[in-house]
Every structure is written in structure tokens, then in C-alpha cells.
């Protein structure tokens, strides 16, 4: 995740000098969209029950997805 200071962008202004839009690279835009998606998923799941790291490892081992 880039910080705001690291994202290169330009403002588009109207004739009165008011900022009306922002131009940024496609890669920066896609990274921002990915970050927003991650935040949305985290917000949707915030009330879900959590499990410990050890319990997760045991479940993954039981499913054959993790080896010792």
C-alpha cells in the first residue's frame, strides 16, 4: 500500500482555479481500488468469530493444505 505522499497525481481545475478532478496513473488507481476492496472485505467480516493461529494451522493440516 502506498502512502498518499507516494502517489503521483495531478489536479484538474476549472477556469476559477477550483479543483474539479484528479489524474493518476492506472497502476495507482488499480492499487487504490484493491485497497478499497480489502477494506470492504475487512468491514464485512469484522463481526465474524475469530480463531487462534494454532487452530488455523490444525485445520489446514487436517485439510491437507499444510504440512509439518
Q: pLDDT of 34-67, one tens digit each?
A: 999 999 999 999 999 999 999 999 999 999 999 8
Give the pLDDT of residue 4: 74
**Structural contact between residues 34 and 28, judged by C-beta atoms closer than 8 angstroms:** no
The pLDDT of residue 17: 96
Radius of gyration of the chain (CA): 21
* pLDDT over threshold 90, residue 20: yes
**Strand pairing partners for 38?**
none
Confidence band (pLDDT; 50, 70, 90) for 10? very high
Q: What is the dihedral of CA 49, 52, 56, 59, to 10 degrees?
A: -80
Whether the full predicted model's pTM is greater than 0.85, yes or no, is: no
Instruction: Give the start-to-end residue ranges of the domains of the chain.
Output: 4-62
Question: Which residue reads 481545475 in cell numbers?
Answer: 13
Amino acid at each position: 500500500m502506498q502512502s498518499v505522499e507516494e502517489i503521483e497525481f495531478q489536479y484538474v481545475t476549472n477556469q476559477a482555479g477550483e479543483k474539479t478532478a484528479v489524474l493518476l496513473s492506472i497502476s495507482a488507481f488499480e492499487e487504490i481500488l484493491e485497497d478499497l476492496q480489502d477494506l470492504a472485505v475487512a468491514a464485512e467480516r469484522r463481526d465474524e468469530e475469530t480463531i487462534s493461529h494454532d487452530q488455523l494451522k490444525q485445520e489446514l493440516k487436517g485439510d491437507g493444505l499444510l504440512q509439518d
